[in-house]
């Protein structure tokens, strides 16, 4: 763990059951009020049970632990981060930032490179991978549920979540928890799957079956299917006249990622077919969420659905210290 960042965030940690301030011990963090212990395992504080609805993500991020990191591959995570959040280096430098659904640390790597101090949370064991990948950065990983985050209100200068909240039981309720953790005048940015385009309708049908498959079986299946449909698409597009329309039909009925990088094709396609939850949204919906939380200065990013807002000095989203019952009212608990 980063000792300086650990000391800074320790004062802001709260029990997810009773909201009391936590005390640091050798084995982890203990609540002096209810006695609950949150252990540290492999440099990650655990605020969730061993198994969750996001287990498939833990598998895929461990298998593809460095695929999306700019420091390992020319994937363009920094460019994606800018397009999907609208954030800039000068806005994050020196700031305390929350990465909701950090995965392997893809975007946290960008934010720390820009000078931010980043706390990453992930429901899955991918938090371990992020902690390892960013061990030499101003970064801490927590395994925690967005519906029961272990932080005091108004802790963070900035919060972002890219491609994560739509994989929860209720994207709207997950989002509405976040502004209370934001300091006044802080920024929040999210990116979600778009509900405008219907190209994914067949993948939604298939996922009713594929999300129930053992993740390793699904992965092995896609290791055959993704290359087949990728090269079939390339071959069809070389056929005069009818080739491109035929390729479009095949891609519509059998959607797989057509990225030029083999690992990225497999990772992204696995990400489409493995989750239990995967909702799609419109700007009209998301703007209503932001407005309901009292957020101002709303703007959209370059890639749908990307929305960003700012918390005003006096906001209805502020809550001095929410009760445990209000936090557990959200879905997704066990």
According to the model, what pLDDT value does residue 67 have?
Answer: 64
Residue 324 — very low, low, confident or very high, per pLDDT cuts 50/70/90? Answer: very low
Query: Helices 215-236 and 55-63: crossing angle, nearest 10°?
Result: 60
According to the model, what pLDDT value does residue 332 have?
Answer: 39
According to the model, what pLDDT value does residue 166 have?
Answer: 96
Enter the tokens of residue 1: 């763990």
Q: Is the pLDDT of residue 1 over 90?
A: no
Q: Is the pLDDT of residue 320 over 60?
A: no
pLDDT one-digit tens code per residue, 125-146: 889 999 999 999 999 999 999 9
pLDDT one-digit tens code per residue, 288-314: 999 999 999 999 999 999 999 999 997
pLDDT one-digit tens code per residue, 45-85: 999 976 554 455 557 656 666 665 665 555 588 999 999 99
Enter the tokens of residue 238: 């070389």
Q: Is the pLDDT of residue 254 over 60?
A: yes
Backbone angles phi, psi at 291, to 5 degrees: -65, -35
**CATH 3.40.50.150: which residues of the chain?**
44-194+280-327
pLDDT one-digit tens code per residue, 194-249: 999 877 789 999 999 999 999 999 999 999 999 999 999 999 999 999 999 999 99
Domain covering 44-194+280-327, topology:
Rossmann fold (3.40.50)
According to the model, what pLDDT value does residue 4 have?
Answer: 72
Percent of the chain with pLDDT over 70: 86
Enter the tokens of residue 171: 């994207």
The maximal CA–CA distance of the chain, rounded, in angstroms, is: 72
According to the model, what pLDDT value does residue 5 have?
Answer: 82
pLDDT one-digit tens code per residue, 146-200: 999 999 999 999 999 999 999 999 999 999 999 999 999 999 999 999 999 877 7
Residues 150/25/138/176 CA torsion (nearest 10 deg): 0
Q: Is the pLDDT of residue 329 over 50?
A: no
Sign for the pseudo-dihedral over CA of 7, 9, 14, 16: negative
Residue 331 — very low, low, confident or very high, per pLDDT cuts 50/70/90? Answer: very low
């Amino acid at each position: 763990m980063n000792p300086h960042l650990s000391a800074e965030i320790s004062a802001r940690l709260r029990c997810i059951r009773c909201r009391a301030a936590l005390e640091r011990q050798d084995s982890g963090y203990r609540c002096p009020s209810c006695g609950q212990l949150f252990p540290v395992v492999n440099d990650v504080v655990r605020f969730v049970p061993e198994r969750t609805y996001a287990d498939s993500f833990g598998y895929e991020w461990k298998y593809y632990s460095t695929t999306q990191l700019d420091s390992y591959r020319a994937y363009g995570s920094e460019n994606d981060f800018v397009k999907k959040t609208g954030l800039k280096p000068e806005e994050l430098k020196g700031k305390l930032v929350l990465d909701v659904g950090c995965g392997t640390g893809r975007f946290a790597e960008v934010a720390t490179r820009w000078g931010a101090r980043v706390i990453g949370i992930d429901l899955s064991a991918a938090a371990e991978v992020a902690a390892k990948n960013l061990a030499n950065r101003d970064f801490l990983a927590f395994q925690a549920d967005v519906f029961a985050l272990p932080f005091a209100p108004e802790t963070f200068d900035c919060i972002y979540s890219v491609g994560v909240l739509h994989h929860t039981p209720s994207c709207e309720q997950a989002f509405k928890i976040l502004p209370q953790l934001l300091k006044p005048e802080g920024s929040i940015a999210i990116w979600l799957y778009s509900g405008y385009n219907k190209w994914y309708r067949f993948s939604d049908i298939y996922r009713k079956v594929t999300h129930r498959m053992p993740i390793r079986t699904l992965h092995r299946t896609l290791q055959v299917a993704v290359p087949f449909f990728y090269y079939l698409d390339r071959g069809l597009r070389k056929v005069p006249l009818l080739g491109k329309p035929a390729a479009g039909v095949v891609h519509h009925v059998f959607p797989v990622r057509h990225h030029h990088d083999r690992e990225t094709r497999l990772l992204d396609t696995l990400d489409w077919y493995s989750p239990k939850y995967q909702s799609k949204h419109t700007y009209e919906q998301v703007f209503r969420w932001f407005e309901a939380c009292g957020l101002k200065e709303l703007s959209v990013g370059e890639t749908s659905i990307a929305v960003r807002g700012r918390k005003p000095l006096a906001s209805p989203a502020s809550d001095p210290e929410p009760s445990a019952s209000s936090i557990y009212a959200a879905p997704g608990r066990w």
